[in-house]
Amino acid sequence: MNPYDHQRNSRRHFCTQAGAGFGSLALASLLEKDGIAAGPIGFDETGASGPMASKAPMIPTQAKSIIFLFMFGGPSQVDLFDYKPELQSRDGQSIENEFRRGTKTKAVLQASRRKFTQHGESGLWCSDAFPHLSKHMDKMAMIHSLTSDSFAHGSALLQVNCGRILQGHPSIGSWVTYGLGSENQNLPGYVVMLDPRGGPTSGSPNWSSGYMPAAYQGTLIRTSNQPILNLQPAAGITRDMQRREIDLIQSLNVQHVQQQKQTSELEARIASYELAFQLQMAAPEALDLASETEDTLQMYGIHEPKPDWHPMALGPSTFGRQCLIARRMVERGVRFIQIYSGGGNAGGQNTWDGHHGIEENLQLHCPEVDRPIAALLQDLQQRGLLDSTLVVWGGEFGRMPVSETFNTGGKPGGRDHNPKGFTYWLAGAGVKGGTRYGATDEIGENAVENPRHLRDLHATILKLMGLDHRRLTYFHGGLDEKLTGVLDAQPIDEIIA
């Protein structure tokens, strides 16, 4: 797994991001139409070519797609899944709290205002913040003992997405599509959907392909208007007119290519226009919920009105729509789908960054994702897709068990960042449902039982997707780079079925 030439040369990458299966056919017919015999055209007859062509996994796996639900801002584990009776009983006690690396201060423990109960056969804990999601605990493997390296949003997001706290490395979606390609050549293989309140901190470096070719970069899919940048023709130009324009480009291109000897790149570019035309149909089709039943739309909460109790509240309809689109993408063979909940500047209640009152924050964001995620898990299962779809839930870090008072106007209630012990859950393909792995200390601050670094989570995700984090390498700057970096990582095998 080391495409030696990606990095080291000027050899070109025919990144027919929307593949070539269709393109070669279209081109052949075009050549025929122009009375030219379709010669060898640079695509093999099996269809797809280019870096997004589907590749066999390294390790046997059921997983085909991954949906990464990213709670931007840092969801509070002690209010959601990581139940700590001792924290509940020590509300108001003073402790010494390391709130930034190496910097300690006196702080006051703040019990969760949430009620926790055990659910399902597994008896996994979930608070009343997620009344719908808590019905699906038996599908999840909870990892309570993750740690990472940064207290700050920017670098912590980069580490979750790209494996490093430093900018410039490929994101996990890039690694997965680099390793596996994608099943559908008419849609992007790696898509990212953002919260309508804005993108996450740092923006596009979070779905960048870093030093890999741009074909492995995440494609932003908007759920309103044009899902992909410049997807539709300008105002006044019909699809038919666009088709004619492309036909003209192609007849000029066909004339041109015949005078050339080095033709594969030119052919790839010819194909890319056909694929673009195809994408104009395929992308809206994947996003069009008209064929979904009323029950389905209800289940995802798509009809729920925007609540009026808080100016930032969205209710479940946006995230629900994105989750349903994610399921449709999975059905169409898209490899990697990431959805952000929370967006815009960190530090406000527009994200999960609950400095200014954790209760208000939970009341805002939990209902936005609760029904949609529950619906997604149920829907995937009903359709037999959960076995082949890995669902990952988490944020860039967790939150502190202590109250953060300095920027809530003296009111108790906020919680600060915590990368020292936080929770992720996984469900679906290959995941041992109903598992609880690792634990934080009695107040939920530090991972103490089976602490695992974020890179182990990455290794786990790759393994579930059929990729070996040690062998999935990319040559750059004199080094076989890996998502998990140079320090050794171990998949968390205890949560793998």
Partner 1 sequence: MRSLQCLLSMTRARINSRRSWSGILIRGCLSALMILWAPSPPAMADDRLVFFESKIRPIFERACNECHSGDEAKGGLRLTDRLGWQDAGVIQIARPESSLLVELLRSTDDDVRMPPPDSGRSVTENEIRDIEQWIRDGAADPRMAKEASFAGVGPKRRNRVFEITPEDEAYWAFQPLQPPRFAESELKLTASEKIDELLRRQWKELPGVDLAPLATSRELARRASFDLWGLPPDLEIIDRLERDPSLKTWQEWIDSLLRSHRYGERWGRHWLDWVRFAETNGYERDGPKPHAWRYRDYVIDSFANDKPYDRFIIEQLAGDEWAEQQGWSAVNDPDRWKESLIATGFYRLHLWDDEPDDSEAATMDEADDVMVSIGSAFLGLTIGCARCHDHKFDPIRQKDYYSMLSFLRGVDPYGLTKKGGGGRGTGRIQRFLVSESESAAWEQDRQTKIDALQQRLEGETDPAVRLGIDGQIKTLRDSVPPFEAALSVAEIGQTIAPTFVLHRGDVHSPREAVDPEFPIILQKQMDAPEFGGALQHSSGRRLQFAKWIASRENPLTARVAVNRIWKGHFGVGIVPTPDDFGQTGIPPSNLPLLDFLAAELIDSGWSLHHIHRIILSSHAYRMSSHVLNAKAETADPEARLFWRQNLRRLDAEAIRDSILLMAGNLGDKRSGPSVFPTLTQEVRDSANPVSLSQWLDSPPEQQNCRSVYLVVKRSLKVPLLESLDFANSSSPTATRPTTTTAPQALMLLNDPWVHSQADLLFERLRREAGDDPSARIQRLWRIVYQRPATNEEELICLKFLRSQPIPENEANIPQDDLTYKVGAWQSLCRAVVNSNEAIYID
> Contacts with partner 1 in 399-428 (CB under 8 A)?
none
Among 128, 265, 292, 387, binds partner 1 (CB under 8 A): 265
Are 170 and 209 in contact by the 8 Å Cβ rule? The answer is yes
Q: Rounded to whole angstroms, how far apart are CA atoms 433 and 71? A: 21
Q: Is residue 59 a contact point for partner 1 (CB under 8 A)? A: no
Sort strands 190-193 and 336-341 into parallel, antiparallel or unpaired. Answer: parallel
Cα Rg for the chain, rounded, in angstroms? Answer: 24
**First-to-last C-alpha distance (Å) of the chain:** 26
Cβ proximity to partner 1: between 346 and 375 the closer is 346
Q: Is residue 33 a contact point for partner 1 (CB under 8 A)? A: no
- What angle is formed at CA 394 by the lines to CA 388 and CA 397, rounded to 5 degrees? 150
- State the nearest-atom distance from the C-beta of 389 to partner 1, in Å: 25
Residue whose tokens read 């695992």: 452
Q: Is residue 102 a contact point for partner 1 (CB under 8 A)? A: yes
How many residues does the structure list for the chain?
A: 497
Query: What is the contact mask toward partner 1 in residues 446 to 475, using x (rule: CB under 8 A)?
Result: -----------------------------x
- State the nearest-atom distance from the C-beta of 420 to partner 1, in Å: 12
> Contacts with partner 1 in 221-250 (CB under 8 A)?
222, 225-226, 228-234, 236-238, 240-242, 244-249
Q: Is residue 202 a contact point for partner 1 (CB under 8 A)? A: yes
* DSSP H or E stretch at residue 117: strand 116-119
- State the nearest-atom distance from the C-beta of 210 to partner 1, in Å: 7
Q: Is residue 303 a contact point for partner 1 (CB under 8 A)? A: no
Q: Rounded to whole angstroms, how far apart are CA atoms 306 and 313? A: 7
Q: Is residue 60 a contact point for partner 1 (CB under 8 A)? A: no
Structure tokens at 235: 């105002």
Q: Is residue 10 a contact point for partner 1 (CB under 8 A)? A: yes
Are 274 and 247 in contact by the 8 Å Cβ rule? The answer is no
Q: Is residue 118 a contact point for partner 1 (CB under 8 A)? A: no
Q: Mention every residue, 6+ apart, whose C-beta is less than 8 A from residue 42.
A: 24, 49, 263, 264, 267, 268
Among 255, 310, 407, 493, binds partner 1 (CB under 8 A): 255
What is the total count of residues that contact partner 1 (CB under 8 A)?
117
Single-letter code of the amino acid located at 406: F
Number of other residues whose CB lies within 10 A of the CB of residue 467: 25
Among 35, 60, 121, 259, binds partner 1 (CB under 8 A): 259
Q: Rounded to whole angstroms, how far apart are CA atoms 174 and 217? A: 6
Closest alpha carbon to 88 in 442, 412, 424: 442
Q: Mention every residue, 6+ apart, whose C-beta is less than 8 A from residue 493.
A: none
Q: Is residue 315 a contact point for partner 1 (CB under 8 A)? A: no
Single-letter code of the amino acid located at 393: W
Three-class SS state of 391: strand
Residue 203 phi, psi dihedral angles, 5° rounding: 65, -135
- State the nearest-atom distance from the C-beta of 197 to partner 1, in Å: 9
* Alpha helices (runs of H) in 99-171, residue ranges in sequence order: 153-162
Are 78 and 84 in contact by the 8 Å Cβ rule? The answer is yes
Q: Rounded to whole angstroms, how far apart are CA atoms 488 and 161? A: 18
- State the nearest-atom distance from the C-beta of 248 to partner 1, in Å: 4
Among 262, 290, 294, 384, binds partner 1 (CB under 8 A): 262
Cβ proximity to partner 1: between 100 and 310 the closer is 100
Q: Which stretch binds partner 1 (CB under 8 A): 89-97, 264-272, 382-390, 398-406?
A: 264-272
Q: Which stretch binds partner 1 (CB under 8 A): 67-75, 255-263, 405-413, 448-456?
A: 255-263
- State the nearest-atom distance from the C-beta of 172 to partner 1, in Å: 17
Q: Is residue 488 a contact point for partner 1 (CB under 8 A)? A: no
Cβ proximity to partner 1: between 274 and 304 the closer is 274
Query: What is the contact mask toward partner 1 in residues 332 to 351, using x (rule: CB under 8 A)?
Result: ------------xxx-----
Query: What is the contact mask toward partner 1 in residues 144 to 183, using x (rule: CB under 8 A)?
Result: -----xxxxxxx--x------xxxx---------------
Among 88, 93, 122, 264, binds partner 1 (CB under 8 A): 264
Q: Is residue 331 a contact point for partner 1 (CB under 8 A)? A: no
Q: Which stretch binds partner 1 (CB under 8 A): 46-54, 127-135, 294-302, 378-386?
A: 46-54
* DSSP H or E stretch at residue 399: strand 398-399
- State the nearest-atom distance from the C-beta of 246 to partner 1, in Å: 7
Cβ proximity to partner 1: between 239 and 411 the closer is 239
